[in-house]
Amino acid sequence: MSEAKRVIVTGATGLIGKHLCRHLTDKGYAVVVFSRNAERARNTLPGMAEYVNWTPEVPGDWGQALEGAYGVVHLAGAPIFGKRWDAAYKAQIHDSRITSTRILVDALEATRTRPTVFICGSAVGYYGDTGNNEVNESSAPGDDFLARVCVAWEQEARRAETLGIRTVLLRTGIVLDAKEGALPQLVVPFRLFVGGPILPGTQWFPWIHIDDEVGLILLALEDARVSGPLNATAPAPQTNYDFARTLGKVVGTPSWLPVPGFSLKLLLGELADRLVEGQRAIPQKAHELGYSFQYPTSEQALRDLIT
């Protein structure tokens, strides 16, 4: 591009953010990283155009950096996986998304030259436990904790639409990456020959390869047809049983030792519900827009990521 477009990225040092920032830079965008610790972000993610100290809970001078930006990609939020869900952590999951989005949209409203597009993270948890029913972007929300968080999160983000900003709600599944996130943890028991599905095994596992996650964000950033909810999931979701069998095949070990749901409940609290329930989420809008998935099946994705 003749003149680099500025794109703001929050959550830039997270799994998705790091991959996205590097792809944006490669494509000629000027990436502005919003971080609680700008200097640490510079060390983690060198080569970006600018690093801005951002405290998402309160307004601040960081709002000035939004002026004249082409786009904002808001990925910040406390991790869903990795910690036991007690009352305090559930409050952190909620507030890190809803409060930060509210204050960010307030800052967008205060700009004189507003961004063209605002992409806000969300999750397929929006749909709750869908059983065996397929869901797409027009499906109704669920009513469990994570679904209610996603509904409130998206409501805050949609305020940007009233400002004339094209707004995209990125409902992401479980992102598969070689080094971070869920996959390295899932691989460990298989390498120890004790891998298997999480019971009951019939729950759906809405996954996506990190490259397709980034690809869909780029589509949302660059294609003016994209607005509203966008499911960031692979086109071939599997049950947990089938995904575990594919993972065992790729690793080269059996998938024979199922993990009881009650044992996860003791270890993870309410988080365990996210693993024994699932969403048969279909990326209908991506298909309609002509997006071509690089890794449409889990075997293709896992063979790329597992070495």
**CB 253: neighbour CB atoms within 10 A?**
17
Q: Which two tokens stand for residue 164?
A: 């004339």
Calculate Rg over the CA atoms of the chain: 19
pTM: 0.93
Residue 138 included in any domain: yes
Is 305 inside a domain boundary? no
Asked if the model's pLDDT at residue 267 lies above 50, the reply is no
What's the pLDDT at 191? 86
Is the residue at 198 inside a domain? no
Q: 252 lies in a domain?
A: no
User: In this structure, is residue 257 part of a structural domain?
Assistant: no
The domain spanning residue 148 has which CATH number? 3.40.50.720
Across the beta sheet with 30-35, the strand order is: 50-53, 30-35, 6-10, 71-74, 117-123, 166-172, 228-232
Confidence of residue 261 (pLDDT cuts 50, 70, 90): low
Residue 124 forms part of a structural domain: yes
Total count of domains within the chain: 1
The pLDDT of residue 248 is 93
Mean pLDDT of 260-274: 53
* 100 within some domain: yes
d(CA 177, CA 27): 21
**Residue range(s) defining the domain that contains residue 34:** 6-177+207-234+279-294
How confident is the model at residue 196, as a pLDDT?
83
- For residue 200, being part of any structural domain is answered with no
